[in-house]
């Protein structure tokens, strides 16, 4: 019997491909079939590029047959968050405003995937312009958590994490502005890394907050994340903020999986009150496993983290209000005329189009940001927030004097129910309380599964943080912890996720 | 379409008697870099609309800017030439406002951290006793990107009011600009319009000398906005500097040297009339109308205009090293005014001659002609003659007529070597202007050649003397000036192809005068 290719890790699949046990076309087709079977339930994808993915797979097979030297992940299919522009393939950012727009160019991340021979299966769902923690703010409907289809898959990159968790893709690209890779990873039982700011090019990623955004890998294992990290990272002349230095040795670190002698700092301010008991229990067990594996644990304090959420919700909307100004219906995207105006001015068309094209959360943040940058308020809001940012970076610097990596729960809770927090923005924003400090400081962070919370049987995540440019530490610690956890579980966490058979979708359709 | 206005305007002399003008100039200079400020698109003028664009300068989703290093170097060189401090660390900022010709709906500019600041430029104006120097203080010069260009179609004025629709050409979007801002210029008094013009002119010369811009105001590669306010003349023992400044207006798009002077002059008269009638000046932008020489009210502008500036997060700070700045300082050209004085003395021109040459834009052409072998006098004669007349009549640069410095030097060589006389040389110049080839080719084609056959010349001289015994006697008798009539007849006999000086010598020799 042929093994199910969709259950394979990216590393194993890459091995099978390089040994020519399977072809890239077979691997890609298997995932396309899986998408056809289960994505009606999950709704991880906004667009599936069957033809493009198979063409890329055929090309890999042809080159492999010709004896060409290929990238380690050549032929391993991947899903890409719909925030990365893809030449010739629709890119919507989960927004009506970009519905129907076909980008004329590839994001650098996408170009690197293509160059490395990873067939792109399609584009994954997300909160509109990456604004949200549940993927409910997608203009095209929410993504469902494969562990419980009534629950959210996290956000903004819920589509990428859900695609990986439901075996529709072994790998996916996410972006993380305040936790949009890590929090979805935590609530779907998957792995996600936000690299050091500047580690991966932002060119072609539709910007939410330029000083915070970072693309990174989503996967089912730490090694898989490292393999993808190595493909997409590295200097890009098209992004001034990209780091001009060698990519950290992430794959080597993941393979070594060694924490002996490493100092692990537990951040006092990230945990405790507001964190679900089951999340805390799994976190504490993980810390103990690291100790058992030879790490030394210290407690560190980052007192200014208390202000991180407030600072983030000034800086992010400020930058977003400016970044999203370009969606004005003049050159691309949705264009609507104002009602009852015979010959509208450009200004009226801009206003009407932005009103029709943007959802409530986007409008909320544009208004917040516009206000925070306004003359007379700038110093009190944007200016103060930047100072907090500096203090948080100093907190991290001090903490990394005492510890090589820092750890915390990734998110305060497991996946909540769809609709539960939709009318309470503050409750929604609190999902990112533990992930935001890393974005403000530009340091790398990873979430990996710590187990299932006792009270609801849903996945919880542990977050690892490392100093800027020391991304490899995440992989070394992550891989060691993953090995210890899987030994305890007797296998992979995701093997315990419920089977999906597409019945939920047919039930939904029947109701509709 | 002519802009009309009902604004009262006070006579300039009267206005200046009652008020002290204070003005400031904001000049935008388009750099002549091969590529745009933040992307690799070409910058050539006049390409088909929207052919020099890419995801970055179109502001497509996801596109990011990268600073053009050459533009930064140009900005630093401009700052050094304007005697500015150069920031050792500065950032770009976003200036947020919505307009269809601005692809991102923010302009990437510099706000409170300009790359160049606190400088000055000395300009020359005519004083009572010859040229005088007036020091214009520079507040700052900063880098930014240009916007696209809107073409408003269907209206009578070409302005957006009344237009039927608008077209946008993004070729200009992202062209590097340097905005040079003066401090408020006080103390110019009645010479304010002249100082303003001299400043813009000096700035243009400086940009040209630096080689950083084409500075062609008619193509928009140098654009000027003029701020002006009036304050009462100081009375009694009061110092003029202690009189508070008045409310200013900003007149946009004053895009020729002459207009700078005229616009300042007009605004002085207009504001004076308003103030004298007991009115107050509205802080606003005003439009300059080149054809009628008036300004009209634009939109009100207040300090409350909120562009929501913040540091551009997509770009890293610009931090030029001291070594780079010093290296660039080493590339600065001789200051244009100093160079003009040096050339004037080398060429032996009078002040008036030098000023005419300068005003005609002939300094470089004469310099090149002299370098190519022409005498300074001949170079001036040729460039300031027919070519200058045509250039002035057609409002085109001198270099536009197909005549080069090499041509002028060659033509002068043909005269000094004795092949051509002055009238022949003028015929060759006609040929040059008609594009008939090089001076030698034209002289050959037109059969222009002084007769060097002395026998033929002597025969002609003898015949003319024989035919005019009366005149010959007068010359013999000492009336040397009478020889002119004989010279003219000989030249006529030779069909003009003789060296008149030589003819004169021959006649005088033969008549023993």
Q: How much is the ipTM here?
A: 0.95
Contact A330 B65 (CB under 8 A): no
For residue B22, what are its two tokens?
């204070």
In the predicted model, what is the mean pLDDT of residues B473-493? 87
Q: Is the domain of B266 the same as that of B356?
A: no
**A156 is a catalytic site residue:** yes
pLDDT given at position B126: 83
Distance CA(B231)–CA(B233), nearest Å, equals 6
Q: How far apart are CA A316 and CA A361, in angstroms?
A: 13
Residue B318 located in a structural domain: no
Indicate the residue among B405, B420, B445 that finishes a domain. Answer: B445
Is some CB atom of chain B closer than 8 A to the CB atom of A368? no
Instruction: Please report whether residue A323 resides in a domain.
Output: no
pLDDT on residue A509: 44
Confidence band for B301, pLDDT divided at 50, 70 and 90: low
Residues B98, B117 within the same domain: yes
Q: Which residue of B has its CA nearest to A98?
A: B61
Count of C-beta atoms within a 10 Å radius of residue A303: 12
Strands B149-153 and A445-452: unpaired
pLDDT of residue B186: 94
Query: Are residues B135 and B164 both part of a single domain?
Result: yes
φ, ψ of residue A233 in degrees (nearest 5): -80, 170
User: Quick one: pLDDT at residue A1?
Assistant: 42
Taking the Cβ of residue A354 and every Cβ of chain B, the question of whether any pair is shorter than 8 Å is answered with no
* Residues B103, A105: C-beta atoms closer than 8 Å: no
Q: Give the highest mean pLDDT range of B248-257, B322-331, B355-364.
A: B322-331
Q: Does A129 lie at the interface with B, CB-CB under 8 angstroms?
A: no
Secondary element (H or E) of residue A341 = none
Query: What would the pLDDT profile of B199-251 be if each residue is shown by its tens digit?
Result: 999 999 999 999 999 999 888 899 999 999 999 999 888 899 899 999 999 99
Contact A82, A28 (CB under 8 A): no
> Which chain B residue has its CA at the smallest distance from A372's CA?
B308
Inspect the interface and report whether the beta carbons of B168 and A206 lie closer than 8 Å. Answer: no
Query: Please, where are the H alpha helices in B190-256?
Result: 192-210
- For residue A156, whether the previous peptide bond is cis, meaning omega lies within 30 degrees of 0, is yes
The chain B residue lying nearest A323, using CA atoms, is: B104
Share of chain B above pLDDT 90, in %: 70
pLDDT of residue B451: 73
In what order do the strands lie in the sheet containing B284-289? B85-86, B116-127, B130-145, B176-182, B19-30, B222-232, B249-252, B284-289, B294-300
| CATH number of residue A32's parent domain | 3.90.1300.10
Same domain, B281 and B418: no
Q: What is the 3-state secondary structure (H, E, C) of B11-72?
A: CHHHHHHHEEEEEEEEEEEECCCCECCCCCCECCCCCCCCCCCCCCCCCCCCCCCCCCHHHH
Query: A171 is in which domain, residue-wise?
Result: 13-306+389-507
CB contact under 8 A, B61 and A206: yes
Q: Is B313 on the interface with A (CB under 8 A)?
A: yes
Closest alpha carbon to A165 in A448, A476, A412: A448
Consecutive H or E run containing B324: helix B322-329
Q: How many angstroms separate the CA atoms of B243 and B236, rounded?
A: 12
- The answer to whether residue A372 sits within a structural domain is no
Q: So what's the pLDDT on residue A427?
A: 85
Q: Which residues are CB-contacts of B15 (< 8 A; sequence separation ≥ 6)?
A: B230, B268, B269, B271, B272, B273
Question: Does residue A383 lie in a domain region?
Answer: no
Can you tell me whether residue A371 is helix, strand or coil? Answer: helix
For residue B496, the enclosing domain spans 454-510
Q: Is residue A335 part of a domain?
A: no
Domain count for chain A: 1
Q: Is B329 within the bounds of a domain?
A: no
Name the pLDDT band for B159 (thresholds 50, 70, 90).
confident
* Record: contact A240-B106, CB cut-off 8 A: no
Helix (H) or strand (E) holding B125: strand B116-127
Q: Are residues B199 and B273 in the same domain?
A: yes
Given A9, A134, A180, A201, the catalytic residue: A180
Residue A157 domain flag? yes
| Whether residue B167 has pLDDT greater than 80 | yes
d(CA A262, CA A248): 18
- Within a 10 A sphere around the Cβ of A37, how many other Cβ atoms? 17
pLDDT band at B459 (very low <50, low <70, confident <90, very high): confident
Task: Look over chain B and give the mean of its residue pLDDT values, rounded to a whole number.
Answer: 92
CA distance linking residue B422 with residue B378, whole number of Å = 11
| B162 alpha carbon, distance to own chain's centre | 34
Rounded (10°) CA dihedral A139, A142, A143, A145: 160
CB atoms B98 and A204 under 8 Å:
no
The answer to whether residue A239 sits within a structural domain is yes
Known catalytic residue: A242? no
Instruction: Please indicate whether residue B255 or residue A131 has the higher confidence score (pLDDT).
Output: A131
| Whether the Cβ atoms of residue B116 and residue B142 lie closer than 8 Å to each other | yes
Choose, from A156, A219, A353, A447, the residue flagged as catalytic.
A156
Test B96 with A319 for CB contact under 8 angstroms.
no
CA A109 – CA A81 distance, rounded (Å): 11
Query: Taking residues B382-409, what's their average pLDDT?
Result: 92
On whether the CB atoms of residues A137 and A131 are closer than 8 A, the answer is yes
CA distances from A319 to A326, A370, B94, B311 (A): 12, 9, 10, 10
The reply to whether B22 and B158 lie within a common domain is: yes
Residue B327 maps to a domain = no
Q: Contact A241/B59, CB-based, under 8 Å?
A: no
Domain count, chain B: 3
**Which of A205, A209, A318 faces B62 most closely, judged by CB atoms?**
A205
- Give the gap in angstroms from C-alpha B91 to the nearest C-alpha of chain A: 13
A3 belongs to a structural domain: no
Q: Of B291, B306, B321, which residue constitutes the final position of a domain?
A: B306
Beta bridge partners of B27: B180, B224
A428 touches A183 (CB < 8 A) = no
For residues B126 and B352, the answer to whether their CB atoms sit within 8 Å is no
Contacts of A109 in chain B (CB under 8 A): none
Rounded to a whole number of angstroms, the distance from the CA of A386 to the nearest CA of chain B is 11
pLDDT of residue A2: 59
Chain A contact present for B60, CB below 8 A:
yes
Which of the residue ranges A428-437, B330-339, B467-476 would you say has the lowest mean pLDDT? Answer: B467-476
Residue A327: which residues within 8 A CB-CB, separation 6 or more? Answer: A95, A97, A98, A333, A353, A354, A357, A358, B61
Q: Are residues B289 and B343 in the same domain?
A: no
Helix (H, G, I), strand (E, B) or coil at B354: helix
Residue B323 domain flag: no
Q: Quick check: is A141 in a domain? A: yes
Report the residue of chain B nearest A107, measured CA to CA.
B62
Specify whether B126 is located in the same domain as B156.
Answer: yes
Q: Which residue of B has its CA nearest to A92?
A: B61
Evaluate whether B267 touches B249 at the Cβ level (below 8 Å): yes
Q: In this complex, is the C-beta atom of A142 within 8 Å of any C-beta atom belonging to chain B?
A: no
8 A C-beta contact, residue B62 and residue B55: yes
Pairing of strands A459-465, A405-409: antiparallel
pLDDT at res. A505: 58
**C-alpha distance from residue A18 to each of A15, B83, B223 (Å):** 5, 64, 62
Q: Which long-range contacts (CB under 8 A, 24 or more apart) does B484-493 make?
A: B486/B461, B489/B464, B490/B457, B490/B460, B490/B461, B490/B464, B493/B460, B493/B463, B493/B464
CA B281 to chain centroid, in Å, comes to: 32
Going residue by residue through chain A (512 aa), what tens digit of pLDDT does each one get? 457 999 999 999 999 999 999 999 999 999 999 999 999 999 999 999 999 999 999 999 999 999 999 999 999 999 999 999 999 999 999 999 999 999 999 999 999 999 999 999 999 999 999 999 999 999 999 999 999 999 999 999 999 999 999 999 999 999 999 999 999 999 999 999 999 999 999 999 999 999 999 999 999 999 999 999 999 999 999 999 999 999 999 999 999 999 999 999 999 999 888 899 999 999 999 999 999 999 999 999 999 999 999 999 999 999 999 999 999 999 999 999 998 888 899 999 999 999 999 999 999 999 999 999 998 899 999 999 999 999 999 999 999 999 999 999 999 999 999 999 988 888 889 999 999 999 999 999 999 999 999 999 999 999 999 999 999 999 999 999 999 999 999 999 999 999 998 776 544 444 43
B98 and A107 within 8 Å at the Cβ level: the answer is: no
B6, part of any domain: no
Whether B67 has its CB under 8 Å from any CB of chain A: the answer is yes
Are B418 and B462 part of one and the same domain? Answer: no
Q: Are residues B393 and B361 in the same domain?
A: yes
């Amino acid at each position: 019997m042929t093994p199910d290719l969709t259950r394979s890790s990216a590393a194993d699949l890459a091995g099978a491909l390089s040994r020519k046990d399977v072809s890239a076309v077979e691997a890609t087709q298997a995932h396309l079939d899986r998408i056809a079977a289960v994505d009606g339930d999950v709704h991880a994808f906004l667009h599936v590029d069957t033809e493009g993915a198979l063409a890329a797979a055929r090309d890999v097979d042809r080159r492999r047959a010709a004896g060409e030297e290929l990238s380690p992940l050549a032929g391993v299919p991947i899903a890409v968050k719909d925030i990365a522009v893809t030449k010739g393939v629709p890119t919507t950012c989960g927004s009506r405003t970009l519905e129907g727009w076909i980008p004329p160019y590839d994001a650098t991340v996408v170009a690197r995937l293509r160059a490395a021979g990873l067939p792109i299966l399609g584009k994954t769902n997300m909160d509109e312009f990456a604004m949200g923690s549940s993927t409910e703010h997608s203009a095209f409907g929410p993504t469902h958590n494969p562990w419980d289809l009534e629950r959210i898959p996290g956000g903004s990159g819920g589509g990428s994490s859900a695609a990986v968790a439901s075996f529709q893709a072994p790998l996916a690209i996410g972006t993380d502005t305040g936790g949009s890779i890590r929090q979805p990873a935590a609530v779907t039982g998957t792995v996600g890394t936000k690299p050091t700011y500047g580690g991966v090019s932002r060119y072609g990623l539709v910007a939410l907050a330029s000083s915070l955004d970072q693309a990174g890998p989503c996967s089912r294992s730490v090694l898989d994340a490292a393999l993808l990290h190595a493909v997409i990272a590295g200097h890009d002349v098209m992004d001034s903020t990209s780091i001009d230095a060698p990519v950290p040795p992430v794959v080597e670190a993941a393979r070594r999986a060694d924490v002996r002698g490493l100092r692990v700092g537990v951040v006092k301010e990230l945990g405790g009150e507001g964190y679900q008991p089951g999340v805390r229990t799994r976190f504490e067990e993980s810390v103990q496993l690291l100790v058992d594996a030879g790490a030394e644990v210290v407690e560190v304090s980052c007192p200014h983290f208390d202000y991180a959420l407030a600072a983030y919700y000034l800086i992010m909307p400020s930058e977003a209000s400016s970044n999203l100004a370009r969606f004005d219906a003049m050159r691309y995207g949705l264009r609507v005329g104002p009602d009852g105006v015979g010959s509208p001015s450009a200004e009226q068309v801009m206003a009407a189009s932005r009103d029709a094209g943007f959802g409530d959360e986007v409008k909320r943040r544009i208004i917040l940001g516009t206000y925070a940058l306004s003359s007379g308020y700038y110093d009190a809001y944007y200016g103060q927030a930047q100072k907090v940012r500096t203090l948080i970076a100093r907190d991290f610097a001090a903490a990394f004097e005492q510890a090589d990596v820092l750890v915390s729960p990734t998110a305060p809770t497991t996946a909540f129910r769809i609709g539960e927090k939709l009318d309470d923005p503050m409750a929604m924003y609190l999902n990112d309380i533990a992930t935001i400090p890393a974005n403000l400081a530009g340091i790398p962070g990873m979430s990996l599964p710590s187990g299932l919370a006792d009270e609801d049987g849903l996945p919880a995540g542990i977050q690892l943080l490392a100093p800027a440019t020391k991304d490899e530490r995440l992989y070394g610690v992550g891989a060691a912890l993953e090995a210890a956890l899987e030994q305890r579980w007797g296998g992979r966490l995701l093997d315990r996720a419920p089977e999906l058979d597409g019945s939920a979708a047919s039930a939904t359709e029947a109701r509709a | 379409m002519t802009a009309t206005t009902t604004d009262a305007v006070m006579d300039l002399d009267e206005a200046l008697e009652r008020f002290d003008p204070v003005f400031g100039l904001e000049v935008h200079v388009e750099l002549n870099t091969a590529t745009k400020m933040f992307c690799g698109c070409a910058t050539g003028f006049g390409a088909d609309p929207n052919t020099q664009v890419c995801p970055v300068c179109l502001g497509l989703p996801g596109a990011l800017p990268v600073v053009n290093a050459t533009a930064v170097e140009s900005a630093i060189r401009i700052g050094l030439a304007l005697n500015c401090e150069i920031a050792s660390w500065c950032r770009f900022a976003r200036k947020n406002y919505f307009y269809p010709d601005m692809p991102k709906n923010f302009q990437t500019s510099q706000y409170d951290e300009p790359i160049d600041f606190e400088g000055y430029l000395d300009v020359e104006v005519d004083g009572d006793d010859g040229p005088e120097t007036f020091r214009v203080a520079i507040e700052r010069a900063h880098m930014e990107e240009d916007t696209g260009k809107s073409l408003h179609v269907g209206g009578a004025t070409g302005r957006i009011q009344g237009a039927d629709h608008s077209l946008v050409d993004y070729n200009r979007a992202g062209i590097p600009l340097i905005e040079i801002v003066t401090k408020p210029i006080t103390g110019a008094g009645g010479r304010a319009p002249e100082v303003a013009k001299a400043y813009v002119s000096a700035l243009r010369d400086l940009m040209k000398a630096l080689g950083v811009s084409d500075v062609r105001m008619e193509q928009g590669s140098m654009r000027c906005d003029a701020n002006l306010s009036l304050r009462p003349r100081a009375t009694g023992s009061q110092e003029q500097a202690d009189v508070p400044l008045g409310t200013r207006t900003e007149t946009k798009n004053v895009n020729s040297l002459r207009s700078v002077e005229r616009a300042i002059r007009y605004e002085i008269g207009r504001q004076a009339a308003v103030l004298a009638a007991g009115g107050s000046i509205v802080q606003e932008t005003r439009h300059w109308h080149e054809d009628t020489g008036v300004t009209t009210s634009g939109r009100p502008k207040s300090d409350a205009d909120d562009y929501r500036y913040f540091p551009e997060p997509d770009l890293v700070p610009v931090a030029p090293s001291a070594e780079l700045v010093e290296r660039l300082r080493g590339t600065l050209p001789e200051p244009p005014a100093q160079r003009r004085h040096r050339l004037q003395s080398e060429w032996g021109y009078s002040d008036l001659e030098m000023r005419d040459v300068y005003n005609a834009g002939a300094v470089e052409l004469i310099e090149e002609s002299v370098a190519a072998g022409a005498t300074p006098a001949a170079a001036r004669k040729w460039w300031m003659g027919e070519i200058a007349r045509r250039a002035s009549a057609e409002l085109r640069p001198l270099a536009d007529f197909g005549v080069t410095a090499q041509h002028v030097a060659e033509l002068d060589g043909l005269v000094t070597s004795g092949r051509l006389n002055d009238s022949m040389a003028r015929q060759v110049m006609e040929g040059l202007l008609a594009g008939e080839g090089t001076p030698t080719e034209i002289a050959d084609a037109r059969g222009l050649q002084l007769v060097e056959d002395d026998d033929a010349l002597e025969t002609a001289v003898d015949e003319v003397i024989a035919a005019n015994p009366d005149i010959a006697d007068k010359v013999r008798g000492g009336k040397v000036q009478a020889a002119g009539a004989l010279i003219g007849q000989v030249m006529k006999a030779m069909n003009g192809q003789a060296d008149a000086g030589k003819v004169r010598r021959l006649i005088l020799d033969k008549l023993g005068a």
